[in-house]
């Protein structure tokens, strides 16, 4: 039975049991600082577990999850994964243990027809209720019901003694017996054994207690059910496989990898399995908007790519290859994730770019090693070498083995203890950054639980409403007086709360002469929060007020939001359908749109994008809003932001035949109301991601007028009409270049006479001539030419020339060919020196240059160069 069939059977089974089938949440949990990635099916239901109403009290999902806790075990064991799908059924104060156990048993034994004799269970040692249900109602014999302790069968693990505070409870696990010939083969073997004979299939968590700060457990007024069953493990059980990697979820990937490495050596299987696992995690992370980077989630993706590249290199595959596996993942998962197929090219481009960067780093490791360790050849310092080795490992991903081989070849001592200490500190830092930032079920929004505020502001800008709650200093109050800051909640509102990239509305709540200035609007669950200050008089709970949105600001926001939709349509038209939204910001002043694209955007393309948007505006397309089922909206081609979670019913905003997007924001009635669209900035913000900032309407007009004023000023300064400005500027630039060339020639001729004296005055250090000088007001080009002249007249020389131009330091360094042949490197040397003059630098072995903000430190820089030469 395939995984696709199993997933469908599970969801259909619980749908028949009156569960709402909820779409998988993103791998990036929204508004949840306790986890880095979504680690389990229950995470998207935290609010429901806390008592917030969502319109259903039973749910079932197939949730995509990502965990890196057991990264080192992936590929080495039959069932450890980074990315996996978790099948789960949930009850929020509805059914409890009896139904949960009965339905789990029914699904496994009747729906899937698993042999009852091969199923065992565990229960918490003190949970007599669960034990009794399994024994008396399901009919399992005593020997197949194993009692386990707080670590194994209480959730969260050991929560009774170690926390966290909040909802918790015992759990019961269902195991599949692989048979007596698997594992330790002891007669008394049962699910408490660590051997692989018993595969945990399903975990049923009975959330029935609330843990308090003092460690006491009190019964919850509403008990919950949270279950999780790994789809990959279930597929292996149903297909008679002892290893998850032998199922159809991995087999096509493994075949492709083995074909590429041309080596089916069993010793390589753990590496092949790990690559097959990692590429699934990589693909779905990028699918959910996480791009490779050096921070948080992006670092996890980058680490998985680099680990996979290293595994491939160890199997003699040194060219980019991972990206070729993206379409394989998309094909395997297409039944449940059809959008993945459409995005496979875009995801593959991101993976390829990251592979190329890492491989380039690996291939340039020789120069990195020389730069970091050259000074330790003569002056041994094992501890400092250990730190530098870790930095190469942590920053560039250079494998320890590769660095150790180079150090050994160059007889440089290395402290493994220092390296291990640095690695341990890094792991602790990583844990603290990704650790849960609070209790599992903590929520700052508990005081808004159960509150519903109806939004009616799509068509209206003012309406009467009733104050139902006032929050001041995080506490509820009955009255608000002049000058006090607070949050006011109404029974209904015209104020749009921040969401989907759009900022919240501002305006006023008034009752006669009593006025509350709304400075921001946000949402918590179904409560809309009006944050602001009492301007005059007072307001109290229960007052009937007039809520009025700042109309001009709302319209400016609407212009920018509708323009954002047109911008995405223009980008896809000009650059290609691969363009996908990665984020946006819509304010009254401007719009910002982040999108996937792997090449620089030319000035011509930018002009075409701007022109296309303005064409859409001039055509005055009608803006239409319709409510549709999510599946139908996507089928019709409506664009969705892949980092956003959508309800089953969605709002579709269409602009003529130009654009169709899922969007909850406020918009215009027609595109012509935007007026003018003007791009003010475009550039790259991450690998494969670019950003456009633009303005509309009056803001765009002001930008254009400012540009016109600047143009007039230039024309006046040059005393030329506007239609001849470009011609005049070209003429003057040509003249300037001619004069600069003449001046450079004269300066170079004047300096060449003194070069012989400079050479004669060289210091000799370890049979190397060191020539240093600061020459006033020479640009980089002249400094370079002087370096070339000196190199042509001397041997065994290191030349460093500095100059000060516009208050900044410029430094060039050259090595004669005979020193380069001996392995000396100007590019490596200048990096240390550049820091002293307040900047950075680099270059080739024979020539390098740097710039900095501290020209007063040239003498110190030259002194540092002397130290480097003495250590050679």
* pLDDT of 189 over the 90 cut: yes
pLDDT in tens, 711-761: 999 999 999 998 899 998 999 899 888 887 777 677 666 666 677 888 888
User: What is the per-residue pLDDT for 752?
Assistant: 67
User: What is the per-residue pLDDT for 223?
Assistant: 92
pLDDT in tens, 499-534: 989 999 999 999 999 999 999 999 988 899 999 999
Q: How far apart are CA 541 and CA 477, in angstroms?
A: 8
User: What is the per-residue pLDDT for 435?
Assistant: 41
The answer to whether 568 touches 613, Cβ cutoff 8 Å, is: no
**Helices (H) and strands (E) in the chain — how many of each?**
25, 33
Half-sphere exposure (CA, 13 Å, Cβ side) for 713?
Answer: 6
* pLDDT of 654 over the 90 cut: yes
Of residues 751 and 110, the one with the higher pLDDT is: 110
* Dihedral sign, Cα of residue 693, residue 694, residue 698, residue 701: positive
pLDDT in tens, 241-293: 989 999 999 999 999 999 998 877 888 899 999 999 999 999 999 999 888 88
339: which residues sit within 8 A by CB, 6+ positions away?
A: 287, 634, 642
Give the pLDDT mean for 602-631. 95
CA of 759: how far to CAs of 61, 775, 789, 860, in Å? 78, 15, 11, 21
Of residues 74 and 364, the one with the higher pLDDT is: 74
Give the pLDDT mean for 564-582. 93
Interior/surface letters 261-276, b for 16+ CB within 10 angstroms, e for the rest: beeeeeebbbbbbbbb
The answer to whether 674 touches 623, Cβ cutoff 8 Å, is: no
User: What is the per-residue pLDDT for 444?
Assistant: 56
The CATH-assigned architecture of domain 3-246 is 2-Layer Sandwich (3.30)
**Binning pLDDT at 50, 70 and 90, where does residue 429 land?**
low
pLDDT in tens, 791-820: 888 999 999 999 998 889 999 999 999 998
Q: What is the DSSP letter of 499?
A: B
Instruction: Provide the percentage of residues in the chain whose pLDDT is more than 70.
Output: 96
**Binning pLDDT at 50, 70 and 90, where does residue 167 land?**
confident
The continuous run of DSSP H or E covering 596 comes out as strand 591-596
The pair of three-digit structure tokens given for residue 46, joined into one six-digit string: 């935290």
User: What is the per-residue pLDDT for 440?
Assistant: 54
Q: What is the DSSP letter of 244?
A: G
Q: Where are the domains of the chain?
A: 3-246, 250-363, 364-440, 446-549, 555-705, 757-871
User: What is the per-residue pLDDT for 622?
Assistant: 97
Give the lowest-confidence range in 357-361, 600-604, 620-624, 643-647. Answer: 643-647
Bridge partners (DSSP) of residue 515 are 510, 536
Residue in the block written with tokens 């060191």? 770
Q: How far apart are CA 328 and CA 322, in angstroms?
A: 11
Output the CA torsion 425→426→429→435 (10° steps): -120
Instruction: Provide the percentage of residues in the chain whose pLDDT is more than 90.
Output: 58
For the packed helices 826-836 and 365-373, what is the interaxial angle rounded to 10 degrees?
Answer: 50
799: which residues sit within 8 A by CB, 6+ positions away?
A: 771, 772, 787, 790, 791, 813, 814, 815
| Torsions phi, psi for 203 (to 5 deg) | -115, 120
User: What is the per-residue pLDDT for 626?
Assistant: 93
Give the pLDDT mean for 474-488. 94
Q: What is the largest CA-CA distance in the chain?
A: 106
**Binning pLDDT at 50, 70 and 90, where does residue 642 land?**
low
Q: State the pairing for strand pair 119-124/166-177.
A: antiparallel
Reported in sequence order, the residue ranges of 716-825 that DSSP labels E, i.e. its strands, are 763-765, 768-774, 797-805, 808-815
pLDDT in tens, 367-403: 778 878 877 877 888 899 899 888 888 777 788 888 8
pLDDT in tens, 75-107: 998 889 999 999 999 999 999 999 999 999 999
365: which residues sit within 8 A by CB, 6+ positions away?
A: 396, 398, 402, 403, 406
User: What is the per-residue pLDDT for 753?
Assistant: 65
* Dihedral sign, Cα of residue 731, residue 732, residue 735, residue 737: negative
The answer to whether 483 touches 544, Cβ cutoff 8 Å, is: no
| Torsions phi, psi for 802 (to 5 deg) | -120, 160
The answer to whether 514 touches 539, Cβ cutoff 8 Å, is: yes
**Binning pLDDT at 50, 70 and 90, where does residue 436 land?**
very low
State whether residue 690 is helix, strand or coil. strand
Helix, strand, coil share (%) of the chain residues, nearest 5: 45, 25, 30
Of residues 429 and 1, the one with the higher pLDDT is: 1
Give the lowest-confidence range in 31-35, 188-192, 215-219, 319-323. Answer: 31-35
Chosen CATH of 555-705 out of 3.30.980.10, 3.40.50.1580, 1.10.760.10, 3.40.50.720: 3.30.980.10
Give the pLDDT mean for 343-367. 87
Quote the Cα angle for 598-603-609, to 5°.
75
CB atoms < 10 A from the CB of 252, how many?
A: 15
* pLDDT of 662 over the 70 cut: yes
Answer whether the bond into residue 156 is a cis peptide, omega within 30°. yes
Q: How far apart are CA 196 and CA 191, in angstroms?
A: 9
State whether residue 205 is helix, strand or coil. strand
* pLDDT of 688 over the 90 cut: no
Residue in the block written with tokens 């004799």? 117
Using a 10 angstrom Cβ sphere, with 0-12 exposed, 13-18 middle and 19 or more buried, the burial of residue 434 is middle
The string of DSSP letters for 259-304 reads HHHT---GGGHHHHHHHHHHHHHHHHHHHTT----SSHHHHHHHHH
User: What is the per-residue pLDDT for 154?
Assistant: 94
**CATH T-level assignment (fold) for domain 757-871:** Diaminopimelate Epimerase; Chain A, domain 1 (3.10.310)
Using a 10 angstrom Cβ sphere, with 0-12 exposed, 13-18 middle and 19 or more buried, the burial of residue 304 is buried
Q: How far apart are CA 598 and CA 26, in angstroms?
A: 24
* pLDDT of 433 over the 50 cut: no
User: What is the per-residue pLDDT for 187?
Assistant: 87
User: What is the per-residue pLDDT for 158?
Assistant: 84
The CATH-assigned architecture of domain 446-549 is Beta Barrel (2.40)
User: What is the per-residue pLDDT for 813?
Assistant: 94
Q: State the pairing for strand pair 797-805/808-815.
A: antiparallel
Give the pLDDT mean for 401-426. 87
Q: State the pairing for strand pair 198-211/166-177.
A: antiparallel
The answer to whether 830 touches 841, Cβ cutoff 8 Å, is: yes
**Binning pLDDT at 50, 70 and 90, where does residue 432 land?**
very low
pLDDT in tens, 284-319: 999 998 888 877 888 899 989 999 998 998 898 989
Instruction: Of 283, 291, 260, 278, give the one whose Cα is nearest residue 334.
Output: 283
Instruction: Of 220, 225, 219, give the one whose Cα is nearest residue 204.
Output: 225
């Amino acid at each position: 039975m395939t995984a696709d069939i199993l997933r469908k059977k599970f969801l259909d089974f619980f749908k028949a049991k009156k569960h709402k089938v909820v779409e998988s949440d993103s791998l990036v949990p929204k508004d949840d600082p306790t986890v880095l990635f979504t680690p389990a099916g229950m995470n998207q239901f935290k609010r429901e577990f806390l008592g917030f109403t969502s319109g259903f009290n039973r749910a079932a999902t197939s949730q995509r999850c990502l965990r890196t806790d057991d990264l080192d075990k992936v590929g080495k064991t039959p069932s450890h994964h980074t990315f996996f799908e978790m099948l789960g059924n949930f009850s929020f104060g509805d059914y409890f243990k009896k139904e949960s156990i009965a339905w789990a048993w029914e699904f496994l034994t009747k729906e899937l027809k698993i042999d009852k004799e091969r199923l065992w269970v565990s229960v918490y040692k003190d949970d007599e209720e669960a034990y009794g249900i399994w024994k008396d109602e399901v009919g399992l014999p005593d020997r197949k019901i194993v009692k386990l302790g707080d670590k194994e069968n209480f959730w969260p693990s050991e929560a009774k003694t170690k926390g966290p505070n909040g909802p918790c409870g015992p759990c019961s696990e269902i195991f599949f017996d692989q048979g007596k010939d698997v594992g330790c083969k002891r007669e008394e073997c049962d699910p408490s054994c660590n051997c692989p004979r018993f595969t945990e299939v399903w975990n049923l968590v009975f959330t029935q207690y609330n843990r308090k700060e003092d460690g006491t457990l009190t019964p919850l007024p509403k008990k919950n059910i949270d279950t999780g069953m790994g789809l990959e493990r279930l597929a292996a059980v149903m297909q008679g496989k002892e290893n998850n990697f032998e199922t159809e979820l991995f087999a096509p990937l493994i075949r492709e990898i083995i074909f590429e490495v041309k080596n089916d050596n069993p010793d390589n299987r753990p590496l092949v399995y790990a690559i097959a696992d990692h590429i699934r995690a990589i693909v779905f992370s990028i699918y959910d908007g996480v791009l490779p980077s050096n921070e948080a989630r992006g670092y996890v993706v980058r680490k998985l790519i680099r680990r996979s590249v290293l595994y491939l290199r160890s199997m003699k595959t040194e060219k980019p290859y991972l990206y070729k596996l993206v379409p394989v993942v998309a094909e395997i998962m297409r039944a449940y994730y059809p959008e993945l197929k459409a995005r496979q090219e875009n995801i593959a481009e991101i993976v390829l770019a990251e592979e190329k960067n890492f491989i380039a780093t690996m291939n340039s490791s020789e120069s990195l090693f020389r730069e970091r360790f050259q000074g330790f050849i003569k002056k041994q310092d094992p501890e400092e070498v250990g730190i530098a080795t870790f930095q190469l490992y942590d920053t560039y991903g250079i494998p320890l083995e590769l660095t150790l081989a180079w150090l050994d070849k160059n007889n440089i001592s290395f402290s493994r203890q220092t390296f291990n200490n640095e690695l341990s500190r890094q792991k602790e830092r990583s844990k603290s950054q990704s650790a849960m930032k609070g209790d599992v079920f903590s929520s700052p929004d508990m005081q808004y639980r159960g509150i519903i505020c109806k939004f009616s502001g799509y068509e209206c800008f003012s309406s009467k409403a009733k104050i139902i709650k006032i929050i001041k200093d995080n506490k509820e109050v009955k009255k608000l007086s002049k000058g006090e800051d607070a949050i006011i909640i109404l029974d209904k509102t015209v104020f749009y709360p921040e969401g989907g990239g759009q900022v919240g509305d501002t305006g006023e709540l008034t009752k006669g002469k009593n006025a509350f200035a709304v400075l921001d609007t946000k949402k918590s669950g179904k409560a809309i929060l009006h944050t602001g200050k009492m301007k005059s008089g007072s307001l109290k709970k229960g007052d009937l007020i007039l809520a009025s949105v700042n109309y001009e600001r709302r319209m400016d926001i609407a212009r920018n939001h509708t323009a954002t939709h047109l911008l995405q349509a223009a980008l896809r038209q000009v650059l290609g359908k691969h363009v996908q939204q990665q984020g946006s910001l819509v304010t009254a002043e401007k719009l910002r749109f982040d999108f996937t694209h792997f090449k620089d955007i030319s000035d011509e393309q930018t002009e075409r994008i701007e022109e296309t948007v303005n064409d859409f505006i001039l055509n005055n397309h009608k803006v239409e809003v319709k409510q549709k089922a999510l599946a139908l909206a996507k089928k019709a081609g409506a664009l969705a932001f892949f980092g956003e979670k959508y309800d089953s019913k969605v709002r579709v905003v269409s602009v003529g035949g130009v654009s169709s997007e899922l969007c909850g924001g406020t918009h215009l009635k027609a595109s012509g109301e935007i007026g003018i669209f003007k791009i003010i900035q475009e550039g790259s913000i991450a690998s494969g991601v670019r950003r456009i900032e633009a303005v509309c309407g009056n803001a765009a007009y002001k930008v254009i007028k400012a540009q016109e004023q600047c143009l007039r000023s230039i024309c006046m300064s040059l005393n030329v009409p506007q239609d001849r400005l470009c011609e005049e500027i070209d003429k003057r630039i040509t003249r300037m270049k001619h004069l600069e060339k003449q001046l450079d020639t004269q300066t170079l001729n004047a300096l060449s006479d003194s070069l012989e004296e400079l050479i004669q005055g060289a210091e000799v250090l370890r049979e190397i001539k060191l020539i240093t000088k600061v020459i006033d007001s020479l640009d980089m080009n002249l400094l370079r030419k002087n370096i070339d002249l000196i190199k042509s007249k001397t041997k065994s020389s290191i030349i460093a020339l500095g100059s000060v131009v516009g208050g900044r330091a410029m430094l060039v360094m050259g090595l004669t060919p005979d020193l380069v042949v001996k392995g000396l490197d100007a590019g490596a040397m200048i990096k240390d020196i550049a820091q002293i003059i307040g900047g950075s630098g680099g270059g080739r072995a024979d020539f390098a240059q740097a710039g900095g903000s501290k020209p007063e430190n040239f003498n110190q820089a030259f002194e540092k160069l002397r130290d480097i030469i003495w250590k050679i």
